[in-house]
Structure 1
Amino acid sequence: MIRCCDTGRPEGIEAALTSKFETLFPHLDERQGRLAMAAEARSLGHGGIRLVARAAGVRAGTVSCGVAELESGEGPLGLVSREGGGRKRLADLHPGLRPALLALVEPDVRGIRCRHCGGRRNRHAGSLQS
């Protein structure tokens, strides 16, 4: 077995890990993926977190969190993602976004599309209510 002169690990370990993760990750949820990466990193020892992060295409902090989860001995969570995880809604991040979008669309949208009359039902509602 040829060993890399820098780390003493077998050459090609990163490529092997990349292949393993590409095969495995589509079948795992977020937490399971973190724990799988953490187990690999721990088995590699010193420098394993960085190597696994590069192979998996994630931040080293993600692998470190997985290692901490493994070492804490936490049981399975009820949710896959932690509370507050995931992307925030754009409307929450930018409060003026929704009114601005509605202002752009509002002049053109004035009622429900009506198949029978070939246009919008409420277009002439103002002139009919005199």
Structure 2
Amino acid sequence: MRIPDETRGQLALKFAVLFPHLDERQRRLLMAAEARALGHGGVRAVAQAAAMSETTVRRGVFEIEAGQAPLGRVRRPGGGRKRISVLDQGLRPALLALVEPDERGDPMSPLRWTVKSTRALARELTLAGHKVSADTVADLLREESFSLQAAAKTLEGAQHADRDAQFRYLNERAREHRDAGQADR
């Protein structure tokens, strides 16, 4: 059956008005209801009017015909975009390589932090080919047991000129002891 162009135009207008107010499942179900009402050729006509895939419209028709109860959520579990750390397996090692030389903290304590900001780290990672935001960097650092608290400045006296070198030395010694199995002694 040939769906008149006027009907397609009316559908396109209806979808343009309603779609911004609906989630993806609601859009699918609306398109499916319209396709069923049109009968033969309805799926293609609705897909064209909505500028969507016919597969999406068919999935909506299947959901209506199956009588599925509302999901209580928009996507099924596992749906949606995957985390960048899952898609880019080299991201976490690259981040840890960036913070390792400047890692701070008591060598005997699990609390670790870095002097680099999440924005600076995100910029460096992006330049290295890992497109990532500062928020994602913060999430990854938290997962690696880093504290994101900024160091508070105190006026306790002059800082030692080789303070960074001292921390690097302590971190290297702590790593050597940990690798030798002496971390708990």
| 1:19 partnered with 2:57 | no
Structure 2 partner of 1:57: 51
After superposition, the Cα gap between the structure-2 partners of 1:42 and 1:128, relative to the gap in structure 1 and judged at 3 Å, is same
Q: Deviations over 1:70-100 (max 9, x none)?
A: 0011121121211111111121022112323
- Over the matched positions of the two proteins, sequence identity in percent amounts to 52
Q: What pairs with 1:1-130 in structure 2 (closer than 5 Å)?
A: 7=2, 9-101=3-95, 103=97, 111=115, 112=150, 125-127=163-165
Q: Which runs of 5+ in 1 are unaligned?
A: 1-5
Q: Deviations over 1:44-66 (max 9, x none)?
A: 11111111111112111111010
TM-score normalised by L of structure 2: 0.54
TM-score normalised by L of structure 1: 0.73
Distance across 1 between alignment mates of 2:162 and 2:47: 62
Instruction: Name the count of aligned residue pairs.
Output: 120
Distance across 1 between alignment mates of 2:153 and 2:164: 20
SS at match of 1:79: coil
Q: Which runs of 5+ in 2 are unaligned?
A: 104-113, 116-149, 170-185
After superposition, the Cα gap between the structure-2 partners of 1:100 and 1:127, relative to the gap in structure 1 and judged at 3 Å, is closer
Distance across 2 between alignment mates of 1:60 and 1:44: 14
Cα offset for 1:42?
0.6
Query: 2:66 corresponds to which letter in structure 1?
Result: S
SS at match of 2:5: coil
SS at match of 2:57: helix
Cα offset for 1:19?
1.1
Cα offset for 1:115?
8.0
Cα offset for 1:12?
2.2
After superposition, the Cα gap between the structure-2 partners of 1:99 and 1:23, relative to the gap in structure 1 and judged at 3 Å, is same
Q: Which has the higher contact order (CA 8 A, sep 6+)?
A: 1
Query: 2:163 corresponds to which letter in structure 1?
Result: A
Q: RMSD of the TM alignment (CA)?
A: 3.1
Distance across 2 between alignment mates of 1:25 and 1:97: 36
